[in-house]
Chain A
Amino acid sequence: MLDRGLVREVLTAAARNGGDFTEVFVEERSSTSIRLDDGKVEELTSGLDRGAGVRVVRGTSFGYAFSNRLDRASLLEAAAAASAALAGDAQGSVVDLTVRAGPGTNRVERSAADVPAATKVGWLREVNEVARGVSPEVAQVVGIYGDSLQRRLIAASDGRWVEEDRPRIRLVAQVVAKRGDVIQTGWEGPAACAGVEFLDRHPPAVTARRAAERAVTMLDSIPAPAGEMAVVVANGCGGVLFHEAVGHPLEADAVDKEASVYRGLTGARCASDLINGVDDATTANGWGSFDFDDEGEPSRRTVLFTDGVLQGFLHDRGHAAKMGVDPTGNGRRESYASPPIVRMTNTNILPGDTDPQQIVRDTARGIYVSGLGGGQVNPATGDFVFGVSEGFLIEDGQITTPVRGANLIGRAIDVMSSVDAVGSDFETWEGVCGKDGQNAPVGSGAPTLRIATITVGGTGV
């Protein structure tokens, strides 16, 4: 993407005030998005984006400057601006740039770029037809298709030269169902770092049907109860709970700022002994998978919990160096327009050996959560919330009436310690995580879990 001599010149210019390392990140991204709404293909957008960022790092401090322009003058200007953040006078050195090759985590069989837009439009028409066919109560359907190819180059003063292409594909169905004055919604949106072969395994019709069924089911819902009770979280959903409640406070930047409930607890029991958790960017074609992170570190599978005992944190280069551990490949950025920060990749609770149906049968009273709308955590306090988009009452070991307007709230360590059953049915869920103003695609996964006691925030008192 850029000449090696020029990159070396920029890295050297950025090191004029020293620093631990300097880095250049170059990106070119082409993308297609198509939106069907109200029965019509409303909008097709194609985009071409490119830019480069120059970063100078000392400890956990950094200077960062970026530009859309990739010419020599613009890059040297960015290097000058980034290096101005550091007060120093010793010129830093740049090691000879050597290509590092990756294992090919996100292989593509059929590239989205080779598929005509008309075919992609056809997938959305299918979403519309199938969803509307589920029930006459389906009132509105939105289908969104998106694909992108991000070409990245990361080079740094320690000699690393990494080039990696990241393909993404996602197909989302959002359905509104209506009965009289009652309006309910359903959502489904599988995603991967893959080519269009991904849709063979997640056909648009299946996505549409699931979203429509969720919306229609919720028309029969009653307001959720309020107060403490047992909650069974269906497979897939628990990964988001783990991501929010546990994953964010385990990011090393929060730990370093003493703004994490897990600070100082490595080696301590912080969760039920049924909890084994990992952050794993090496899963083939996972939504949060890659060969190298956005600092050029190889992707890893990082063990977070073993039998409930905290094993360690998620790191970028700067925080790993400060804490004297190896980087875990968790330095990620939304694009060239942002410096990398510590982020999760695919964050999973590993499966146990309990039959998931038995977990429900063993629950006298509670809520069964089978759809989620994401969540939020305060890493410093561990207080988190988790929106329930599809839930049911559990009465005498049976899943019964659907409930709406529920939310789960708790404290990370309390709730993870309260898990008293872990199923064998691992499933993943793909989302977009926001942190410090940057969005990142993240995967999460979990088997069916039961939390013995957690506060459900409904309206029924």
Chain B
Amino acid sequence: MSDLGELVAIAVAEAADGEEVEAFATEGRQTEVSALRGEVEGMTFAEERGVGVRLIADGRLGYAYGADPTPAEVVAAVARARENAALAEPDEHNGLPEAEPFETLPELFRAGSAAVSVDEKVRRALDLEAYAVSRDPRVTKVELAQVGDAVARVAIASTRGVDASYERTDAWVVVVPLAVEGDETQTGFSFQVARGLDELASEPVADEAVDRAMSMLGAVKPATAKVPIVLDPFAASSFLGVLAGALSAESVLKGRSLFADMAGQQVGSPAFTLVDDGRRLDGPGACPFDGEGVPSGRTELFTAGTLNGFLHDTYTARRTGGDQRSTGNAKRGGYKGAPGVGTSNFFIEPGEPSFDELLARAEGGVLIRDVSGVHSGANPISGEFSVGATGLRIEGGTLGEPLREMTIASTLPEMLEGISAVGSDFRFFSSVGTASILIGQMTLAGV
């Protein structure tokens, strides 16, 4: 079996005169163990590798990939990418980036994590479930209690001199307990991600998930009204994906972003600063370089409410022109597709107020703890959204009656403008991060 470096080199060597060729290869191993009723519910071992080839000839772009290819199959993939390129339309802005030096971020790989035994993972999953169902007599079962980890290696090479690779480890724990009282069932959810299993503490994750399930027991449907809203970090993080789509230069260039003509303008409140930082090591989205080998960077998209600019890959930077450079935000779902603009660690900068201070400032309002249907109810192009929500009333600065079967609706610009404060309780959720957010008024629909 050839190593990744050899495979990408084989692809690059196939480039004909005048062609630009880039090969991107990944290989990884992943283990997931879930526990149910004191036994192993499921154990999955994954081992995958593959190579994707991007070829540009006369401004035309083609792509082809193969799973676990032999050297001959890599050569064939280059040929298929060439055939595909011949059918695409030329675009003068297509092109590969020049090689640039990058910071290697060796912290992304923890050798100790990669060596944790399967038995140890099983024990952790069983302990997670056992602990979750020990907290309260109303929580006797889980929908999911899972521990997982992954080791991955990425290699990229191109005719522009890019020749880079890195390794990473990731680990996670997730738990969904069920709280039951009479005929009513409520679910809670929490998870944590880290570089290695040894950095994960299951008990606080289970405590939080159990608390979130229990606090929803007895939930009622509220009356329709406009009220102050506090989005907790879980709920607030759900909106970051929608914002990311609207802040991609690709969306802007193709007329699919509501922010297209707003660069330089005050769009959000002064409390709102939004950053993408691929080198921030405490964020799960950290990586030394992006999906086309450009070094990861830090981009402040909003500073105190003012929109500075957008996220770029090499194509969008070239098409934008002037002195615009890639922000290191070419992202790939894996080897099966060409890169497009995406986020690395994408987060709202925390503010000063504690969570309790935010509640005190939202009298008569609602704390939103979970939103649902964001993929279907929020439109990153028009900026309108209406999503399902659950949460708790805010009464006298503390949390009161639980609420369900309601929606919150607004537009992204109105929501960003309406941010009165960002809390200090910052945390990352996969590669997006935020603290709790206080929003002046939002429409809450119920009865």
Interface residues of A (CB under 8 A from B): 37-38, 40-51, 60-69, 78, 81-82, 84-85, 117-118, 121, 139-140, 176, 178, 182-185, 224, 226-228, 254, 257-259, 261, 337-339, 372-376, 378, 380-381, 383-387, 389, 404-407, 409-411, 455-461
Hey, which bits of chain B sit against chain A, CB under 8 A? 36, 39-50, 61-68, 73, 77, 80, 83-85, 87-89, 91, 118, 141-143, 178, 180, 185-187, 221, 224-226, 253-256, 258, 336-338, 372-373, 375-377, 379, 381-388, 390, 404-411, 443, 445-447
Q: Which chain A residue shows the least CB distance to B142? A: A257
What are 16 A-B residue pairs whose CB atoms fall within 8 Å in the complex? Answer: A41-B87, A65-B44, A66-B47, A68-B48, A68-B49, A84-B43, A117-B83, A176-B381, A185-B381, A226-B407, A227-B224, A376-B376, A380-B178, A385-B372, A387-B375, A389-B379
Given contacts A376-B388, A458-B386, 12 further A-B contacts (CB under 8 A): A60-B36, A61-B40, A183-B382, A259-B178, A338-B44, A374-B375, A381-B185, A384-B388, A407-B376, A407-B409, A455-B405, A458-B409
Choose from B89, B376, B379 the contact partner of A185 (Cβ within 8 Å).
Answer: B379
Q: Are B43 and A410 in contact (CB under 8 A)?
A: no
Q: Give the distance in Å from the alpha carbon of A258 to the alpha carbon of B379 in the complex.
A: 34
Residues of chain B within 8 A (CB-CB) of A67 are: 47-48
Which of chain B's residues has its CB closest to A410's CB? B405
**Main secondary structure on chain B at its contact with chain A?**
strand
CA distance A372 to B385 in the complex (A): 13
A30 to chain B, nearest CB (A): 10
B43 touches A459 (CB 8 A): no
Give the chain A neighbours of B373 by CB distance below 8 A.
374-376, 385-387, 407
The chain A residue with its CB closest to the CB of B48 is: A68
Q: How far is the CA of A346 from the CA of B408 in the complex (A)?
A: 31
* Distance, CA A85 to CA B40, complexed state (A): 8
A63 CA / B39 CA spacing, docked (Å): 12
Point out which of B68, B143, B373, B383 has the most chain A C-beta atoms below 10 A from its C-beta.
B373
Query: What B residues does A411 contact at CB under 8 A?
Result: 405
Return A145 CB to nearest CB of chain B, in Å: 12
Partner of B387, one of A43, A224, A385: A385
User: Are A455 and B143 touching (Cβ within 8 A)?
Assistant: no
In the assembled complex, the CB of B379 is this many whole angstroms from the nearest CB of chain A, namely 6
Alpha-carbon gap, A50 to B118, bound state (A):
26
The answer to whether B338 touches A45, judged by C-beta atoms less than 8 angstroms apart, is: yes
Smallest CB gap from B84: residue in A: A44
CB <8 Å contact, A45 and B337: yes
Q: Which residues of B contact A41 (CB under 8 A)?
A: 87-89
Evaluate contact between A461 and B409: CB separation under 8 angstroms.
no
Tell me which of B50, B118, B225, B256 has the highest count of chain A C-beta atoms within 10 A of its own C-beta. B256
Q: In the docked arrangement, what's the CA distance between A461 and B405, Å?
A: 17
Residues from chain B with a CB closer than 8 A to the CB of A339 are 42, 44
B-chain residues with CB within 8 Å of residue A140 when the two chains form the complex: 254-256
Q: Which residues of A contact B142 (CB under 8 A)?
A: 257
Whole-angstrom CA separation of A46 from B85 in the bound complex = 11
CA A460 – CA B409 in complex, angstroms? 9
**A43-B36 contact in complex given A258-B141, A259-B143, C-beta closer than 8 Å:** no
Find out whether the CB atom of B224 lies under 8 angstroms from the CB atom of A47.
no
Q: Is the CB of B407 within 8 A of A257?
A: no
Neighbouring B residues of A62 by C-beta, 8 Å: 41-43
Bound Cα distance from A406 to B376, whole angstroms:
10
Q: How far is the CA of A375 from the CA of B372 in the complex (A)?
A: 8
Write the nearest CB–CB distance from B46 to chain A, whole angstroms.
Answer: 6
Quick check: A459 and B44 within 8 Å, CB to CB?
A: no
Nearest-neighbour CB distance to chain B for A183, whole angstroms, equals 5
Q: Closest approach, in angstroms, between the C-beta of A315 and any C-beta of chain B?
A: 17
Chain A positions within 8 Å of B49 at CB level: 68
Within the complex, the shortest CB–CB distance from A306 to chain B, in Å, comes to 24
* CB–CB A407/B68 < 8 A: no
Rounded to whole Å, the gap between the CB of B122 and the closest CB of chain A is 8
Contact B185 A383 (CB under 8 A): no
In contact, B186 and A380 (Cβ under 8 angstroms): yes
Residues of B within 8 A of A64 (CB): 42-45
Contact B445 A457 (CB under 8 A): yes
Q: Which A residues are CB-close (under 8 A) to B381?
A: 176, 183, 185
Top 9 A-B pairs, shortest CB-CB distance: A457-B407, A387-B376, A385-B388, A385-B373, A68-B68, A44-B84, A226-B445, A373-B376, A407-B386
CB contact between B372 and one of A61, A82, A376 (< 8 Å): that residue: A376
Nearest Cβ on chain B to A174's Cβ, whole angstroms: 9
Do A459 and B47 touch (CB < 8 A)? Answer: no
**Contact pick for A374, options B64, B376, B382, CB 8 Å:** B376
A259 — which chain B residues lie within 8 A by C-beta? 143, 178, 185, 187
A374 CA / B373 CA spacing, docked (Å): 8
In the bound complex, CA of A445 to CA of B77 (Å):
39
- Bound complex: CA of A46 vs CA of B409, how far in Å? 40
- The docked-state distance in angstroms from the alpha carbon of A77 to that of B376 is 41
Q: Which residues of A contact B89 (CB under 8 A)?
A: 40-42
A337 B46 Cβ-Cβ under 8 A: yes
Cα separation A184 to B410 with both chains bound (whole Å): 15
How many angstroms between the C-alpha atoms of A81 and B186 in the bound complex?
A: 36
Of the candidates B383, B404, B447, which one forms a contact with A227 in the assembled complex, judged by CB atoms under 8 Å apart?
B447
Across-interface contacts of A254 in B (CB, < 8 A):
143
- Is there contact, CB below 8 Å, between A455 and B446? yes
Given A41-B88, A44-B88, A68-B68, A461 and B387 contact (CB-CB distance below 8 Å): no
